[in-house]
Every structure is written in C-alpha cells, then in structure tokens.
Amino acid sequence: MVSGAEMLSVAAFLEGRYAQAFPSFGSERMGAPVMAFCRIDNKEIRLREPVLAPDALIIQDPTLLHQVDLFNGVPKRGFILINSTRSFAEMGLGGFALGVQQYRMCTVPATDLALKHVGRAVPNVPMLGGFAAITGVITLSSLVAAIRQKFPAAVAEKNVAAATEAFEIASRAKEMIDA
C-alpha cells in the first residue's frame, strides 16, 4: 500500500510534477487497515495534513467496504477504483455509481493479475495501472519507469506486465465510466 503511493509519486515526479506520498502512520501490525496518501501538483506541495477529500480513491481490500466509511470526502465525479473480480452490481453497489455523487467507478481484478504475473497477492501495482487508465493523471510509461526504479529487473518486469494488463482492462471500461 505504502509502496503503491510511493510509486505513484515517483511516476508523477518523472513527468516533472511535484508529488508527496506518505503513509497514514497506522498500527504496525499485519492485517490492520492501512492507508497511504499521494498528492500531485504542478507546484511545490507545502500541505502536510492527511488527504481529507481525495480526487481518487484506490481500495485494495474490498472487505473494508462494509467496515469503514471509505467514500467519505470523495467529491462528486471523483474516481473510485476497487480491487475485485466482480462488477459493482455483483458487489451490491450497482446504483451507487450513478447516484448523487456520480462517482467514476471501476473494478480491477488486481489480486488475480498479481497472482498471474508476479505469483504473489500484491495488488498495488496493477491498481496503479488501473488508476493511470481511468484518471489519466499519470501515463502508463511513467508508471512502468517508476516500477523499474522500485524493483530489481526480474520482479519489475512481472509487475510491469501486471500493471499493463490492468491498464488495458481499465481502459476498456473508461468510456462507460466517463459517460
């Protein structure tokens, strides 16, 4: 999770932008809900408060949907990406996306893609591929470069493959989401 925010910030940096990524400083134990934040701007970022109104929300563990008020602060037309093999209708969120807030929502089977390409349930990189496709805030090539900075070559290429497939899946969904 924290690495995901880090790689997102590196991708933005590689595009010449300012970025700030930081963890939520939560409990240091396995299994605890963890948040990480990333701000991207064209000027230096001075603000140090946690992100309270995210333009985009990436949910890596959909089981949190029923435990925490995850969408709190997401503005109208905000982007929401959920790691799931299921559609919104199947998750019971069918009418939600079209509701008052008109969120631009997309599911990405990120854990499956990670298992397929990387061999481990590490969904953060494919989620970033989905994020790049849906939001256009960073390009896939910047993300790929950030992944290659983060990991040793062999592991990096597996993650690049996962991110690229996630990007393609989310790109196919983009037209419907933007509508």
CB closer to other proteins out of 46 and 76: 46
Residue pointed to by tokens 């396995």: 30
Nearest to 161 by CA among 126, 136, 109, 137: 126
CB closer to other proteins out of 34 and 97: 34
Residues with Cβ within 8 Å of 36's Cβ and at least 6 positions away in sequence, in order, are: 1, 2, 4, 5, 6, 21, 22, 23, 24
CA separation for the pair 123, 140 (Å, rounded): 16
Pairing of the two strands 36-41 and 18-23: antiparallel
Could you tell me the smallest distance in angstroms from the CB atom of residue 1 to other proteins?
13
Could you tell me the smallest distance in angstroms from the CB atom of residue 115 to other proteins?
27
CB closer to other proteins out of 52 and 154: 52
CA separation for the pair 21, 3 (Å, rounded): 9
Could you tell me the smallest distance in angstroms from the CB atom of residue 18 to other proteins?
6
Residues in touch with other proteins (CB under 8 A): 2, 5-6, 9-10, 13-14, 18-28, 32-33, 35, 45-50, 52
Could you tell me the smallest distance in angstroms from the CB atom of residue 23 to other proteins?
6
CB closer to other proteins out of 53 and 179: 53
CB closer to other proteins out of 35 and 177: 35
Could you tell me the smallest distance in angstroms from the CB atom of residue 79 to other proteins?
21
CA separation for the pair 140, 22 (Å, rounded): 22
Locate the DSSP E strands across 129-168: none
